[in-house]
Structure 1
Amino acid sequence: MANATSVNPLRAPLRRLIDAWTQVRLLEPASEDLGLDPDLPTLYVLPRSSLSDGLLLEVLARRQGLPDATMPRQLGERTLPAQLSLPTTRRRLWQRRKRSRSPFQSVIEAHRDTGCDIQLVPVSIFWGRAPGKRFGFWQLLAADSWRLTGRLRRLLAVMVNGRDLEVHFGAPLRLAELDDGREPSLTDRKAARLLRVHFRRMRSRVLGPDLSHRRTLIEGVARSEPVRRAIAEQAGQSPRLRARLTKRARRYGREIASSMSYPVMRFLDGVLRRLWNRLYDGVDARGLDSIKALAGEHTLVYVPCHRSHIDYLLLSYVLYTQGLMPPHIAAGRNLDMPLIGPLLRRGGAFFMRRSFRGQPLYSAVFKEYLHRLLNRGHPLEYFIEGGRSRSGRMLPPRPGMLSMTLDSFLRSQREGGQSLVFVPVYIGYERILEEASYQRELAGGRKRKESPLALLRIVRRLREPHGRVALNVGEPLSLSDFLDRAQPDWRSATSPGEEAPDWKRTAVTELGETLTRRINAAASLNPVNLVALGLLATPHHAIEATLLERHLTLLVELGRENAAALPSGEPGDWIEQTQALGMLKYQPHALGDLVTADPAQATLLGWYRNNVLHLYALTGLTAFAFRHQARQSLDDLERLLAPSWPVLMREFAIAPPASFRKALADTLERLAAQGLLERDAEAWRRTDSLTGEEQLRMLGRLMQPPLERGYLLLSVLLNEAPGHFTHDALTERTRQLAERLARLTGRDSPEFFDARLFAGLVQSLEAEGWLRTREGRLYYGSRLREGARRGQTLFDPALRHRLQRIARHTEA
């Protein structure tokens, strides 16, 4: 295609052929979102001269109602082509390197002669992008990649990948904003430079960085300075040992490194498309526009919550369908099994051992491999929780991968690398594949080792209903901006070869907590977890259908401000959908239909309730305060709840409000707006409505389990002198008492006495300064005693007596 769309008798029939043959799989943004000024002339800019791209652009402009891409523009005495392409350096075997004339000089001169502004719209077209849509030799050969393609290959791309097209329109550039009055050649170079940067970022966003050959990458890792230093420290002066360790480093590299393969990614795309259509009713993806704005310019690190093995596949699939490069994924070595491991490795997974302790060479190889991925701009994905959540709640973040990412970022900044942005992702299911194994493990069963046979057993469940999936992107976090706030002098804090800075551990801890809060903040509500919130808040997991419907309406209204999305339909539809998934029983009755859950269903519903319980933490805590006190002033409530709230925020990974008092007052107003509380002079009191009182009680029961766990732990701790317990001893003793309480009260909920919850509770008390550790022992003072005393008043006398009786079983 020439820079001017000259008259060509073949152009019209070729355009009709392109129109009939091609099909665009993804086109963004929509024409109405492009922001074009209809009163200004529009010129389209392509990254290279291509007849096929030009014809397709003409077709798309007509289809989308965009300014015509065929007819030249007349500005004064100058005629400008509707399409331009960036100048390139052409080389022929028989000619010297020749640079084509820039197309922008005539445009700049026309702008200056007429004073009319001109819009330049960059257009990126991908014919069967390299991580492809379908598997096949010809599709692979003809797919777009980072290499420039010749005419024969472009013709093949049109023939083979004509129905696998992605088109991305860039934001229009105004020539008046680019032209600063200097020589036209300078403005010309400025426009070309800006457009080249745009096209390069777009190709990086869609295709990812150019993939290095795996063997070359592993060899580079083995020969890197950090790995050679680790080898030298172990080998000493022995050449033979040095050679053996070098071979071991290469073996470690082969064990770790992914082998991303375009054919395999094509195959996985086809398999996953069929899997989602068969397994789920649909995937609701939200917030991806924020990623598209960052991709190509920043290194992206996706940090999803980890609820299911499907998480690995779901995020990559959604990113691909939205025109983004799938990430390299950190996977546990337990998944590197026969058949499955090689497939995952070629789909972008790299494998890591559970622990690096006592393996300095393996640690050096893994860190160097990770650094090279990040430094080259490859998108990355890992789970900061470490493993899948068996309880359904967000687990405390593990420091390992975050620490290595921070080390790599500090090193890359010294080497002039690009910025790094974390992308928190919330994934919510209406039904997971692993529900049976989670129930077994929470009940005390051993975790079974992954194997191909175990995964094949899951195939039998593909015909069962699993509802929908939500994938929500949270607020991205720039690592440099985070460090500017947490450690303003971080850029000068370290030099090459220095030990890790003193502030690193604190920064990694704060980074992990910030990311978990942003993941939880992106949670959305679905029918299953709404029904779970309502049904499990009843004493015997049984409720009248009409009352449950009213309570679901209440939960939606109270969650509207915090949830990223709400379910469509009516409460009756949500109950019916949860029943279709096998998680409750609907019992018709002459005096009113009943909704019930047996013990197994209640345990399963608890997992889905825990996905979103954090959205109602402050609401539930406030409602619980009215359990046996009918009237409370705001001052009394603040004094009563302030000690418990920081601990609950840590347990549920909730971002702290700017003012707890204001957040509490807003919660009271919302409860009053729903008819559950009434304003009484300077205080609040329970409503006289029986329905309102029952709903307030159900809201309070949402926070009863964590408050009971905290009460038990404090009672056990205060029954002994400071320094009596170690961290593990206190955790295990309280877990045993919680299990005893669950059995005595008929509460079949294994997650209530999950040891990790008590371990996290002890860590929260330490973080808040209520406990301190000295020589492995836990010590407390008057602040803890006072907080425990005030917390006791939250419980009514009967419940307090029951908890105290359980706590007295503590052995000296």
Structure 2
Amino acid sequence: MPGGVGYLLQHCGAFFIRRVWGDDLLYNSIMKEYIEILLLRGHNIEAFTEGTRSRIGKLLQPKFGIMKIILEAVLSGRVKDCMIVPMSIGYDRVIETGSYVNELLGVPKEKESLYQLLSNMNILSLKWGRIDISFNKAFSLKEYIGAHTTRRGIPLNPSTSKIDRDLLLQSLGYRILSDINKVSVIMPTALVGTILLTLRGRGVGHDELVRKIEWLKKGIEMRGGSAADFGGKSTGWVVDRAIQVLKDLIGQRTDLLEPVYYPVKRFELSYYRNQVIHLFINEAILSCALYATVKQGGPIHVQRVKINPDLERDCSFVSKLLKSEFIYGPNGLTENMMKSIEDLTSLDVMRIDVENGTDGEVKYLSLSAEERRIGRETFDFFCFLLWPFLETYWLAAISCFALIPQTLPPIEPTWVDERVFLDKAQFLGKTLYYEGDLSYFEAVNKETLKNGFQRLKEMGVILFRKVKKGNENVTMVALSLDWCPKTALPKPPKCSKTGKGSEEVKSNNTIFTSIFGGGKPEPKISLDGTDTPQDYFDETWRYFVPEGKLWELCEQIGRYRREGKNRRDTATVAARVLSLASVTGALLTESDGTGWIKKKTSKL
């Protein structure tokens, strides 16, 4: 932060905090005392619950630093109470979406400077649309603590018990985010972006786009959300204005029978679509769970699923898998699922069939005849909202095959630098996208992929640990021994470099000699992620059949992924995907991010 700007902000009431507090007891004590004094003196504190700007459009998981200090100040009795006011700020167009995409694809964030700020002042003269600021009802933190303790129904003592205090803190964080979601205003640009990214076709005509926007706006209001006030203007006028604001992201053909609009920069448009997902998350989970049965095809009576236990089990899996991505309702899985079924059957999207079984009535859920007649329009809309996230989590699981130790069965975990692993997982994802095995390029985004790896850690699939590397604490990652397959993958297939400007690896180290075979030409592999490795199958890969817990997890996630004319789940596809994961494993080296060394792994 330039000195002059920092001085100005400080005298406007801002104070700066470290991103990582670590074990610095002095810093923690000073920051705690400073915030408590501000509260005691009655000052307002603006705190950002997410901790940073969301690069993907939806709310991030809560960060608990400042919130923890405020909570403990009230619990200790030093501060009598604190009123919390959830606030949402919505923008028609966000200036930084282009740089967000670059960061999500792994490009290091460019450091801001005063010179940059001054040289880009001309941006302020451009039309960026409107801003909406909404406030939810303020609530007393002291009253919330009492209500939380009563609601749990078991003795809690957050004042003295760290476990109880952490539960309360987590509950408070999600309560604030939920309140923010409830008052978030869906901007016209988010409406347009959502419709364009939930189309099965290439584009949509103007009149049809207006109709779909009106349908989406009505659906948002039915679920308690609010769309931006159009000020009495027609929906057509609002759509035209939103298209003008997003003109760099949306294509338009006017030389046809009617104007046709289509997404050009899907990745950037996904930022606006993600602002809508929280309103439809229960229906999206239900639809993706049902899709696992629908996509198998066959007669209509086969494309149905038992509500209990089969559908509930699928909904539970998807919900738990994506729990780091979304803020769910407070009523629990079963109640949320049944409410969604009730809503979608009343809208004639789905239907319930009741049959008599040996143990009584059996209820089945399937698509309604009307929904099939209109081409699964509503059902597909819900699936389109969630498919990109399921793709990312599938990619995260597939990437774990790159962590398989070279020797099986392994004696101990084999560790690699998390940053290198994330980089190579994105490299793998880009390859799978251009080969057609990923449907969405946004599935390779760094933030969601990191959430996917964190979820796999919670499931026990991968392990994390921090080690000291010079003056830096480095996070290392390894595949859990319990999730290692019993048999090793075949040797990686050959890869060749294509395209201009690609950097070739010309290595004499033993890793490539052992992987690609002695006496053969050395492989040419692009490391910058822009080129797709060209693989060919030898007989070993052609007849390879994957097995084990890790592959079963990949298959389970894959059940809910989108399948279409460009992608099929077949044995050949499975072998090709795993062969590329094997190549990724060969590229995983202990690196500082700028160079490559011979040794692949580090035993800690």
Query: TM-score normalised by the shorter chain: which range applies?
Result: 0.5 to 0.7
Structure 2 residue 358 is matched with structure 1 residue 684: no
Cα gap change, 1:758 to 1:685, in 2 (>3 Å): same
Distance (Å, rounded) in 2 between the aligned partners of 1:482 and 1:359:
31
Question: Hey, what does 1:105 align to over in structure 2?
Answer: none
Alignment of 1:682-761 (within 5 A): 682-687=364-369, 690-717=373-400, 720=404, 728=418, 731=422, 734-745=425-436, 751-761=442-452
TM-score by length of 2: 0.67
Letter in 2 for 1:535: L
Q: Is the 8 A contact 2:158 2:168 kept in 1?
A: no
Distance (Å, rounded) in 2 between the aligned partners of 1:788 and 1:440:
28
Distance (Å, rounded) in 1 between the aligned partners of 2:138 and 2:452:
28
Q: Is the 8 A contact 1:543 1:595 kept in 2?
A: yes
Letter in 2 for 1:593: P
Cα gap change, 1:555 to 1:671, in 2 (>3 Å): farther
Deviation at 1:771, TM superposition (A): 4.7
> Between Structure 1 and Structure 2, how many residues are aligned?
464
Q: For 2:30, what is the secondary structure of its paired residue? A: helix
Cα gap change, 1:680 to 1:506, in 2 (>3 Å): closer
Letter in 2 for 1:661: T
Moved more, 559-568 or 374-383: 559-568
Alignment of 1:307-386 (within 5 A): 334=1, 337-357=2-22, 359-386=24-51
Question: Hey, what does 1:632 align to over in structure 2?
Answer: 304
Structure 2 residue 84 is matched with structure 1 residue 422: yes
Deviations 1:526-574 (A, max 9, x none): 2111111110123675223333333323322332243531233554233
**Aligned to 1:584, which of 215, 236, 250?**
250
**Aligned to 1:519, which of 154, 165, 180?**
180
Deviations 1:402-434 (A, max 9, x none): 2332333344x0x4x321233222221111233
Question: Hey, what does 1:664 align to over in structure 2?
Answer: 337
Distance (Å, rounded) in 2 between the aligned partners of 1:547 and 1:690:
18
Alignment of 1:584-623 (within 5 A): 584-599=250-265, 602-623=266-287
Letter in 1 for 2:66: M
Relative contact order, higher structure (CA 8 A, sep 6+): 2
Deviation at 1:643, TM superposition (A): 0.7
Q: Where does structure 1 lack aligned partners over 5 or more consecutive residues?
A: 1-333, 495-500
Question: Hey, what does 2:473 align to over in structure 1?
Answer: none
Letter in 2 for 1:380: I
Structure 2 residue 569 is matched with structure 1 residue 800: yes
Cα gap change, 1:659 to 1:490, in 2 (>3 Å): closer
Letter in 2 for 1:670: D
Q: For 2:123, what is the secondary structure of its paired residue? A: coil
**Aligned to 1:490, which of 157, 160, 164?**
157
Distance (Å, rounded) in 2 between the aligned partners of 1:765 and 1:476:
36
Structure 2 residue 115 is matched with structure 1 residue 453: yes
Q: For 1:708, what is the secondary structure of its paired residue? A: helix
**Aligned to 1:558, which of 216, 219, 225?**
219
Deviation at 1:644, TM superposition (A): 0.9
Deviation at 1:759, TM superposition (A): 2.3
Question: Hey, what does 1:538 align to over in structure 2?
Answer: 199
Q: Is the 8 A contact 1:535 1:596 kept in 2?
A: yes
Letter in 2 for 1:473: F
Distance (Å, rounded) in 1 between the aligned partners of 2:581 and 2:106:
22
CA RMSD, Structure 1 to Structure 2 (Å): 3.6
Cα gap change, 1:650 to 1:358, in 2 (>3 Å): closer
Deviations 1:192-242 (A, max 9, x none): xxxxxxxxxxxxxxxxxxxxxxxxxxxxxxxxxxxxxxxxxxxxxxxxxxx
Distance (Å, rounded) in 2 between the aligned partners of 1:557 and 1:725:
53
Alignment of 1:68-107 (within 5 A): none
Letter in 1 for 2:123: R
Deviations 1:4-60 (A, max 9, x none): xxxxxxxxxxxxxxxxxxxxxxxxxxxxxxxxxxxxxxxxxxxxxxxxxxxxxxxxx
Cα gap change, 1:788 to 1:357, in 2 (>3 Å): closer
Deviation at 1:477, TM superposition (A): 5.1
Distance (Å, rounded) in 2 between the aligned partners of 1:774 and 1:356:
20
Deviations 1:437-474 (A, max 9, x none): 32443344332222222222443122322222222224
Q: Is the 8 A contact 2:350 2:365 kept in 1?
A: no
Q: Where does structure 2 lack aligned partners over 5 or more consecutive residues?
A: 355-363, 466-476, 484-547, 586-604
Moved more, 714-723 or 529-538: 714-723
Distance (Å, rounded) in 2 between the aligned partners of 1:692 and 1:670:
19
Question: Hey, what does 1:809 align to over in structure 2?
Answer: 580
Deviation at 1:663, TM superposition (A): 2.5
Question: Hey, what does 2:454 align to over in structure 1?
Answer: 763
Cα gap change, 1:544 to 1:758, in 2 (>3 Å): same
Cα gap change, 1:612 to 1:439, in 2 (>3 Å): same
Deviations 1:74-108 (A, max 9, x none): xxxxxxxxxxxxxxxxxxxxxxxxxxxxxxxxxxx
Cα gap change, 1:482 to 1:378, in 2 (>3 Å): same
Greater Rg, structure 1 or structure 2? 1
Deviations 1:300-336 (A, max 9, x none): xxxxxxxxxxxxxxxxxxxxxxxxxxxxxxxxxx3xx
Distance (Å, rounded) in 2 between the aligned partners of 1:656 and 1:770:
26
Distance (Å, rounded) in 1 between the aligned partners of 2:177 and 2:18:
23
Letter in 1 for 2:220: G
Q: Is the 8 A contact 2:105 2:426 kept in 1?
A: no
TM-score by length of 1: 0.51
Letter in 2 for 1:612: V
Deviation at 1:580, TM superposition (A): 1.6
Q: Is the 8 A contact 1:687 1:693 kept in 2?
A: no
Moved more, 789-798 or 421-430: 789-798
Distance (Å, rounded) in 2 between the aligned partners of 1:799 and 1:401:
48
Letter in 2 for 1:809: L
Question: Hey, what does 1:462 align to over in structure 2?
Answer: 124
Q: Is the 8 A contact 1:586 1:593 kept in 2?
A: yes
Distance (Å, rounded) in 2 between the aligned partners of 1:556 and 1:707:
25
Alignment of 1:215-364 (within 5 A): 334=1, 337-357=2-22, 359-364=24-29
Deviation at 1:786, TM superposition (A): 6.6
Distance (Å, rounded) in 1 between the aligned partners of 2:101 and 2:462:
35
Q: Is the 8 A contact 2:106 2:446 kept in 1?
A: no
Deviation at 1:475, TM superposition (A): 5.4
Moved more, 664-673 or 382-391: 664-673
Q: For 1:466, what is the secondary structure of its paired residue? A: coil
Q: For 1:810, what is the secondary structure of its paired residue? A: helix
Q: Is the 8 A contact 1:397 1:516 kept in 2?
A: yes
Q: Is the 8 A contact 2:57 2:274 kept in 1?
A: yes
Cα gap change, 1:699 to 1:584, in 2 (>3 Å): same
**Aligned to 1:388, which of 46, 53, 76?**
53
Question: Hey, what does 2:599 align to over in structure 1?
Answer: none
Distance (Å, rounded) in 2 between the aligned partners of 1:578 and 1:597:
13
Deviation at 1:809, TM superposition (A): 1.8
Cα gap change, 1:491 to 1:791, in 2 (>3 Å): closer
Distance (Å, rounded) in 1 between the aligned partners of 2:384 and 2:349:
15
Deviations 1:244-279 (A, max 9, x none): xxxxxxxxxxxxxxxxxxxxxxxxxxxxxxxxxxxx
Cα gap change, 1:807 to 1:691, in 2 (>3 Å): farther
Letter in 2 for 1:511: L
Q: For 2:89, what is the secondary structure of its paired residue? A: strand
Q: Is the 8 A contact 2:104 2:446 kept in 1?
A: no
